[in-house]
Structure 1
Amino acid sequence: MRLIRRFEERAIELVRSGVIAGGIHPYIGQEAIAAGVCAALRRDDFITSTHRGHGHVLAKGADPARMLAELAGREGGLNQGRGGSMHAADFGLGILGADAIVGAAAPIAAGAAWAARQAGSDRVATCFFGDGAVNQGVVFEAFNLAALWQVPIIFVCENNGFATSTRTEDAVAGTIAGRGAAFGMWTRTMDGMDVEAVLAAATEAVDRARGGHGPSLLECLTYRFDAHHTFEYTARPRYRTTEEIEAAQARDPLPRQGARLPEQVREAIDAEIEDLLTEAVQFALDSPHPDPSTALEYLYADSTPVRAGVA
């Protein structure tokens, strides 16, 4: 969680200085969800992410230096600077990619989980999405097929109370957990600001999926401390009050978890993270920009293998 928090804060500094063009969607405040869920996964399990996906990618094990270089559009990035903030991927770690289209990663994760089961593997998939995605039809299609075919997937809804600036209660009829239950999925709602609560629920959901008991929906109640997107630093939309943000910050997941650790351990972790991210920033700054002549590379597979018996 400390890594994710400080990574985002350092990334915001690079946005302000112009190193990261276009801005980012900060994950600050929601760290317990990525950390808790990914701690329940194996290295070879799959995840799909969102436009606010840095935390998921880091929690799954991606190199912070290469991730920061990706945000800066540099060749040293996870995807040679082509993916940027909203499309980072690392197939070697099971990170099938973030997706800027709201809800679009749900069928990708469901397909990956189904394919793993067809191959005789016990790998599972986890799909992260926000409360703003629960009204997207493609999410319900993924719910339906996952439940119908008992696909080993965990759907994780990060309910931070806002779809950009629209409050959840103004856009979502019924309950989010109720939507999962309607498809017959094992469903839990928990405090998404408590990493231990998230880990406990995620571990049970992963065990169920790996054991052949089908999909689960976890609704993690959380709050985004920072802007929806860094454009808010100049646009300054008024959809919530300072008092509301400060009340949510009283439930900050980092000091809550830090209080469970010996002071010396916490201080050692903090120091390690600072050194790691100082090196990551330097790596990103030193990494070159892609050569414009290679702009059309990595858009398509070099060849499409044809299955036996297919003309």
Structure 2
Amino acid sequence: MTDRPNDHALEKFRRMVRIRLFEDKAEAIHAAGEIPGALHTYAGQEASGVGACIVLRKDDYMVGTHRSHGHPIAKGAVLRPLMAELLGKVTGICKGKGGSMHLSDFSVGSLGETSIVGSGVPVAAGAALGSKLLGNDRVTLCFFGDGATSEGAFHEGMNLAAVWKLPVIFMCENNGYAVSTPASVGVPVKDMTDRAKAYAMPAETVDGQDVDAVEEAMTRAVERARTGGGPTFIETKTYRYADHAVNMGRILLERGAEVDEWRLRDPINLYRARLVQAGVEASVLEAIETEIAAEVADALQFARDSAYPEQAEAFDDVFVERLPIPDFISA
């Protein structure tokens, strides 16, 4: 970062705060019963997502995970339809049918967030293959966790990307746990980048709490992909504050002081201090936080005011033609 922050630097702060405040609100209303189903939050990992997405163009592709709200927001998604989706409303980004874990937002190139661990890797390879065959310079970014590196789909997708030199960046957000299993127990290597060696793929491990460090690594990877150099594997060492899924119980308590230690390296606080040191007035950052708090409140009100889908819409976007709702369901 230069001595004097510019709009780009402040945009990184803005996006990280937007993720945190959105996630905090989502967790609160989930606890109150407003969000149906599971909720997997991204709080603590903001620098990883923002540092990666800030390098991408709007038309670049992105594939995410079940920890699914942070990635689209990091790439610039609008909050109103995202919040409405969580509440299952018809104004949601997927008309209320995707919910928290299965989001797609094509307006920012998000091809899908999914609960199937590791399943995004071959999807990302396919999207990158499409870009190569079409002869455009779009790149694809694929997020996944440390647990996904033990899935067969991960290795299949990595292998194809390496063999065909596809324009894709594989980003492993290593938050130390696969649900509740420590990575040290479930994976035989210290750094996930070691797994990229089998595919002769350039790889680097970066501090996932440092948004600038992530951006620098991603910049190199994107340049390589756009110029025909093939895929890159990036591991960000990061941490999630909440349980695997919020309100899951017990696991957070068992991590105890570990959570407190990671909070000392909170990505937003670290970047805030860096911006202030570089000459940004605290009042500027406070104004951004106030603005985003209002944006999140507006998104929630929009979601609450929106209607639920009609019963007759249940099979829309699933089949080519609408199917009738059986009488025994309608009754």
Q: Is the shorter-chain TM-score for this pair beyond 0.5, marking a shared fold? A: yes
TM-score range relative to shorter protein: over 0.9
Q: Deviations over 1:237-266 (max 9, x none)?
A: 367332111001101000101112221221
Task: Answer yes or no: is 1:142 the counterpart of 2:157.
Answer: yes
1:277 paired residue number: 296
2:244 paired residue number: 228
The secondary structure found in structure 2 opposite 1:251 is coil
Q: 1:165·1:239 contact (CA, 8 Å) conserved in 2? A: no
1:251 paired residue number: 265
2:197 paired residue number: 181
How far apart, CA to CA, are the structure 1 residues paired with 2:285 and 2:274?
Answer: 9
The one-letter code sitting in structure 1 at the alignment partner of 2:131 is A
Identity among equivalent pairs (%): 44
The secondary structure found in structure 1 opposite 2:301 is helix
Which of 311, 317, 327 is equivalent to 1:292? 311
Q: Structure 2: which 5+ runs fail to align?
A: 1-15, 322-331
The one-letter code sitting in structure 1 at the alignment partner of 2:317 is Y
The secondary structure found in structure 2 opposite 1:134 is helix
1:10 paired residue number: 25
1:50 paired residue number: 65
The secondary structure found in structure 2 opposite 1:141 is helix
Q: Deviations over 1:54-81 (max 9, x none)?
A: 1101111211111011011001100000
Task: Answer yes or no: is 1:190 the counterpart of 2:236.
Answer: no
The one-letter code sitting in structure 2 at the alignment partner of 1:36 is G
The secondary structure found in structure 1 opposite 2:206 is strand
How far apart, CA to CA, are the structure 1 residues paired with 2:219 and 2:283?
Answer: 28
Following superposition, the deviation at residue 178 of structure 1 comes to 0.8
Following superposition, the deviation at residue 301 of structure 1 comes to 4.5
> For 1:22-171, what aligned pairs fall within 5 Å after superposition?
22-171=37-186
Following superposition, the deviation at residue 22 of structure 1 comes to 1.3
RMSD: 1.3
Q: Structure 1: which 5+ runs fail to align?
A: 303-311
The secondary structure found in structure 1 opposite 2:92 is coil
Report the TM-score when normalising by structure 1.
0.94
How far apart, CA to CA, are the structure 2 residues paired with 1:196 and 1:255?
Answer: 13
How far apart, CA to CA, are the structure 2 residues paired with 1:35 and 1:249?
Answer: 18
Q: 1:177·1:187 contact (CA, 8 Å) conserved in 2? A: yes
Q: 1:47·1:94 contact (CA, 8 Å) conserved in 2? A: yes
The secondary structure found in structure 2 opposite 1:285 is helix
2:232 paired residue number: 216
The secondary structure found in structure 2 opposite 1:128 is strand
How far apart, CA to CA, are the structure 2 residues paired with 1:242 and 1:135?
Answer: 27
Task: Answer yes or no: is 1:267 the counterpart of 2:286.
Answer: yes
The secondary structure found in structure 1 opposite 2:20 is helix
Aligned pair in 2 of structure 1 residues 86, 238: CA closer, same or farther (>3 Å)? closer
